[in-house]
Amino acid sequence: MSVSTPGENRQVNVVKSGKSTATGGKPPADESKTTSGSKSTASSKSAAGSKSTTGSKSTGSKPAAGSKTTTGSKTTTSSKPAAEAKPAADTKSTTTTAAKPGGPAKPGQKPVASGGKGRRPVTPVKVTQQRSWGPIGLLIAVITVAVAIVGFGAYFIIKDMRATSAAEAKQKAEAELEKKEASTPWTQRAAAIQGIVNYRDQKPAWLTNNHKQGKLTYAVTPSVGGDHNPVWQNCMGDVYKAPIATEHATHSLEHGAIWITYDSKLDPAQVAKLAERVTGKEYMLMSPVDNLGSPISLQAWGYQLKVDNADDSRIDAFVRALRKNASMESGASCSGGVTRTGTTPYDLGS
C-alpha cells in the first residue's frame, strides 16, 4: 500500500493470487480490469522499467508496455489498456517442477526443491576373504616333522661317521706302533707290561692242548690254555653279549686270539670302550663272565692281565704284543667257529 501526497491521485493496487476480490467474493469475468481516465504513477514510469508479477508461467500473452500484469489476480492498470493482453481466466499454477540440475525433469518425476538433499551416496562394502588356516597348519606340521626326521637322521649319521673315523684312526695308530715295536721280540714286550702273569713260565703243565668233548675244568678262570673243545669260538672281532663256553674260547686262544672278558656288572660305558677295541678286528673276541672277580681280564695262550678300567693303556700293549704271536697253531683261522652263547659246550655229533 502507498500513501498519496496532496495534489496527487494515487491508486492502491491490491493483488491477490488465486482468491476472490473484496467485493462479492467472486472474481470478475475479465481477468484484467482496466480503469481509464485515472491518474497513475505507473503511467508516468517507463514501460521498460515496469515490473511484472507472475504467479505462474504464462504463455501466449504479451502485456502492453507500461502496464503491470498479474495472472490469476485483480489488476489495476494505467489509462492505456493492453489491447492484446489475453490473460487466461483465473489461471492457477498447479504444479511447479524443479528441473534437476544439469537437465530437464522427466515426466512423472517427483519434484525436488532447489537446495534440498539429494540421494544419499551408497557406501561400498569391502568384503575380506578369510584365510583357511587348517591346511596351512597341517602343511607347517608336516614340514616340521620332516625337518626333525632329517635333522635326527643327519645327527646320527654324523655321529656314527665321527665314531668310525675315530676308531679307524686309533687302529691305524696301533698298527704303526705295532710295526715299530716289531724289532723287539714279543715275549720281551709282554714281559714289560706291568701286572701281566706268564703261565708259560709259571705253570706249563696246565697248558695241555688236547681236543676233548663235554664240560672241562680249568685251573685258571678265565682259562689261559689247556685241553679244549674241538670247535673254536668264532674270533673275527666278535662281541658276545652273553657268557660263552670256556671250552670253545680256549680253542680260540690256541689259534692266537685275544679273549677280553669283563664282569657282567661292569658299567655299560666301560663295556662300550672295550668293544671299540674288538669290533671288526680279527683274532679278537669279547664276552661277559659272571662273578669274574675283576672288572676286566685279558687272556692269551699262557698269559693273563687284569685291570680295573677300560682306559688302561696296558690293554692296548697286551693286544699288540700277544695277538697272533702267542698262537700254538700259527696261521690257524679264527673264522668258521661257533657263534652261539651259553656256558655249555657244543659237542660234535651231539
Boundary-marking domain end, from 158, 183, 208: 183
pLDDT tens per residue, range 290-346: 999 999 999 999 999 999 999 999 999 999 999 999 999 988 999 999 999 999 998
- Separation between Cα atoms, residue 239 and residue 251, nearest integer Å: 17
Domain count, the chain: 2
Looking at the structure, do residues 156 and 255 belong to the same domain, yes or no? Answer: no
Looking at the structure, do residues 242 and 168 belong to the same domain, yes or no? Answer: no
Give domain status of residue 118, yes or no. no
Looking at the structure, do residues 161 and 216 belong to the same domain, yes or no? Answer: no
Angle between helices 268-278 and 314-322 (to 10 degrees): 30
Looking at the structure, do residues 233 and 170 belong to the same domain, yes or no? Answer: no
Give domain status of residue 98, yes or no. no
CA torsion 261→264→267→273, rounded to 10°? 30
Task: Return the bridge partners of 197, or none.
Answer: 304
Looking at the structure, do residues 202 and 317 belong to the same domain, yes or no? Answer: yes
Neighbours of 247 (CB within 10 A): 28
Looking at the structure, do residues 191 and 295 belong to the same domain, yes or no? Answer: yes
Looking at the structure, do residues 152 and 223 belong to the same domain, yes or no? Answer: no
- Can you list the pairs that 91-96 forms with residues at least 24 positions away whose Cβ atoms lie under 8 Å? 91/31, 91/55, 91/56, 91/58, 92/18, 92/55, 92/56, 93/55, 93/56, 93/57
pTM of the entire predicted model? 0.55
| Whole-number pLDDT of residue 335 | 95
| Whole-number pLDDT of residue 155 | 87
Give domain status of residue 113, yes or no. no
Looking at the structure, do residues 177 and 192 belong to the same domain, yes or no? Answer: no
Looking at the structure, do residues 179 and 273 belong to the same domain, yes or no? Answer: no
Looking at the structure, do residues 165 and 245 belong to the same domain, yes or no? Answer: no
Give domain status of residue 242, yes or no. yes
The CA–CA distances, whole Å, from 95 to 18, 38, 55, 73, 99 equal 14, 37, 12, 18, 12
Give domain status of residue 289, yes or no. yes
Angle between helices 314-322 and 133-181 (to 10 degrees): 60
Query: Which residues span the domain enclosing 152?
Result: 144-183
- Separation between Cα atoms, residue 25 and residue 219, nearest integer Å: 161
Q: How many residues does the chain have?
A: 350
The CA–CA distances, whole Å, from 170 to 6, 164, 174 equal 148, 10, 6
| Whole-number pLDDT of residue 25 | 47
Looking at the structure, do residues 166 and 212 belong to the same domain, yes or no? Answer: no
Give domain status of residue 119, yes or no. no
pLDDT tens for the 350 residues of the chain, in order: 444 444 444 444 444 444 444 444 444 444 444 333 334 333 333 333 334 333 434 344 444 444 443 344 344 444 444 444 444 444 444 444 444 444 555 555 555 555 556 677 777 767 666 777 888 888 899 999 999 999 888 888 888 888 778 777 877 887 888 788 888 999 999 999 999 999 999 999 999 999 999 999 999 999 999 999 999 999 999 999 999 999 999 999 999 999 999 999 999 999 999 999 999 999 999 999 999 999 999 999 999 999 999 999 999 999 999 999 999 998 899 999 999 999 999 886 55
Looking at the structure, do residues 153 and 218 belong to the same domain, yes or no? Answer: no
Phi, psi of 155 (to 5 degrees): -60, -50
Give domain status of residue 70, yes or no. no
